[in-house]
Amino acid sequence: MPEGRPPKREEVARILDYLPYGRTPDTRSYQKQPIVQAVGEANFVLMEMTPKEGVVPAASTRVYIGSGSRDVIDHVNRRIDYPELSNNAKLELSYQIPSIVLDNEARFIRYFNEAGPITTRMHALELLPGIGKKLMWAVLKERKKGPFKSFADLMERVKGLHNPEKLIAKRVEDELMDERIKYRVFTTVARMR
């Protein structure tokens, strides 16, 4: 995401976990309300939400959280960090990130088509786990011939590059887990402390 531009608001999220009794470390036993932990599809924002009364959303359910009428979610409570996710939410996240990447293939293939150098010694493609100098140069050479149309096209044209969606998903997960990561490609900066 380019510097200085405000992040796009999340409109759709994927449910990671439903906690019928709220947060575990919450000591207010008299007022425990159900909460939902979810990840946004646009910027992979992790968030805590309150479901509508009587609604029990299942993991992996896509829910609309933009302005206007909502069927499942009453309101978004707050943005959360990776360590605040429940164990079930962390497990589900590892399935939902690749699913979001595959469902938005055009958006993520654009990264391979448009990524440029970060410094004189490092290219943005090298931020993806498993891409070193050799694969980076192979991608750059092939994209000069024309943009990649899909992940399948990318894998066919760049020998040695397998499952680019998994490379992107791993990078997203790394960015969510490490709040001090130097370069953010697919996520927004965590909230200030």
CATH code: domain of residue 16: 2.40.50.140
Confidence tier at 31 by pLDDT (50, 70, 90): low
Supply the CATH number for residue 143's domain.
Answer: 1.10.150.280
For range 56-66, the mean pLDDT:
90
- As a whole number of angstroms, the distance between CA 89 and CA 134 comes to 36
Closest of 178, 154, 157 to residue 166, by C-alpha: 154
Verify that 39 and 77 share a domain, yes or no.
yes
The total number of structural domains that make up the chain: 2
List alpha helices for 57-163, DSSP H.
Answer: 87-103, 105-114, 133-144, 151-157
Any residues with CB less than 8 A from the CB of 168 and at least 6 apart, and which?
Answer: 101, 108, 111, 128, 186
Report yes or no on 151 lying in a domain: yes
- pLDDT, greater one: 66 or 175: 175
Report yes or no on 189 lying in a domain: no
- As a whole number of angstroms, the distance between CA 121 and CA 145 comes to 24
Checking 172-181 for CB contacts under 8 A at 24+ apart, the result is 172/44, 172/97, 172/101, 173/93, 173/94, 173/97, 174/129, 175/44, 176/44, 176/46, 176/82, 176/93, 177/82, 179/81, 179/82
Q: Where among 30, 54, 85 does a domain terminate?
A: 85
Verify that 70 and 122 share a domain, yes or no.
no
Verify that 129 and 73 share a domain, yes or no.
no
Q: Where among 50, 85, 120 does a domain terminate?
A: 85
- Name the 3-class secondary structure at 3: coil
Tokens of residue 88, six digits: 């079930």
Report yes or no on 187 lying in a domain: no
- State the residue range of the domain holding 71: 12-85
Verify that 146 and 173 share a domain, yes or no.
yes
Check pLDDT > 90 for residue 4: no
Check pLDDT > 50 for residue 5: no
- As a whole number of angstroms, the distance between CA 121 and CA 104 comes to 30
Report yes or no on 117 lying in a domain: yes
Report yes or no on 3 lying in a domain: no
Report the 10 Å Cβ neighbour count for 154: 20
Mind listing the pLDDT tens digit for each residue in 152-175? Answer: 999 999 999 999 999 999 999 999
Report yes or no on 109 lying in a domain: yes
Verify that 75 and 129 share a domain, yes or no.
no
Report yes or no on 110 lying in a domain: yes
Beta bridge partners of 48: 37, 78
Check pLDDT > 50 for residue 1: no
Mind listing the pLDDT tens digit for each residue in 102-146? Answer: 999 999 999 999 999 999 999 999 999 999 999 999 999 999 999
Q: In which region does residue 187 sit, left (phi positive, over 0), alpha (psi from -120 to 50) or beta (all else)?
A: beta
Report yes or no on 70 lying in a domain: yes
Verify that 140 and 173 share a domain, yes or no.
yes
